[in-house]
Amino acid sequence: MKLFAIISRISELTHCFFIHVFAINSRSHSGGNPRPGEISLAHHGVLFLDELPEFDRKVLEVLREPLETGHITISRAARQAEFPARFQLVAAMNPCPCGYLGHHNGKCRCTPDQVARYRGRISGPLLDRIDIQIEVPALPESELLARGAAEPSAAVRERVARARELQQARQGKPNAALAPQEIELHCRLDAAGEALVRQAIARLDLSARAYHRILKLALTLADLAGAHRIEAAHLAESIQYRRAFN
């Protein structure tokens, strides 16, 4: 089956919580006295949500505040409490209810309306806070069984570590934590980059939030490539990661 991999807020991968489809209303933050739930337990780690559209809409909307601020405020009859919740959100979903939309075997029988309703379970404001939205197609048997050389994990880890060290030296924090004023300072674009982002804003109806997140991701791509500034290629790749649902 083909999946959509969705990633938001690249940060420290110190913990990982795997949550399948079940009612997590009581697992987020609940009870008479507020207690830390899954999203706070994933602080400075990874929160992985499988079968994203199967979660209750109200539960998914709870993610909007911590994805934006890094904390969550819970109000109960007894009192109000604030918990830390700066995590990396990773989620997966099928492209349609049956899971075979676009599959090379042509097994999908979902109607366009069914596909639209399925994807519509994830709100626009939540998607707006998700930096990377990638369509992962199913591989044909020939490619799945083929053996080829791949970049070792150690090399990827080293490249990521160098990029993080660069960010700490440049601004004292990871790119994901940059404030709007800091984005203007560190994410300056050349004429080609400005023309490209203007075109993207017009065609994709990007919000100010999405625009800032695209710039931060483009800066991260530049850091990973060892570039001294954001180039048009980094910006184009960053924009491309927001087109899975368009």
Q: Would residue 14 count as lying in a domain?
A: yes
Q: Decide which of 114, 142, 170 is a domain's last residue.
A: 142
Report if residue 229 sits inside a domain: yes
For residues 109 and 175, membership in a common domain is answered with: no
Tens of pLDDT, residues 77-130: 768 889 999 999 999 999 999 999 988 888 999 999 999 999 999 999 999 999
Q: Which of 142, 127, 52, 137 shows the shortest CA–CA distance to 101?
A: 137
Position 18 in a domain: yes
Residues 104 and 211 both lie in one domain: no
**Rounded mean pLDDT of 225-232?**
94
CATH number at residue 82: 3.40.50.300
* Other Cβ atoms within 10 Å of 39 Cβ, number: 27
pLDDT given for residue 20 in this prediction: 40
* Residue pointed to by tokens 């939030």: 209
| 38-57 tens-digit pLDDT | 888 899 999 999 999 999 99
CB-CB contact of 24 with 57 (8 Å): no
Percentage of the chain modeled with pLDDT above 90: 65
Number of H helices, E strands in the chain: 12, 7
Residues 196 and 221 grouped into a single domain: yes
Altogether, the residues listed in the chain come to a count of: 246
Last residue of a domain, one of 120, 142, 164: 142
Q: Are residues 114 and 45 in the same domain?
A: yes
Q: Tell me, what's the pLDDT at 147?
A: 80
Q: What does R_g of the chain's alpha carbons equal in angstroms?
A: 19
For residues 144 and 159, the model is more confident at 159
In a domain, 245, yes or no: no
For residues 223 and 143, what is the distance between their CA atoms, to the nearest angstrom?
31
Read off the pLDDT band of 6 (50, 70, 90): very low
Residue 31, pLDDT score = 54
* Residues 192 and 236 grouped into a single domain: yes
What is the span of the domain harbouring residue 36? 3-142
The number of folded domains in the chain is 2
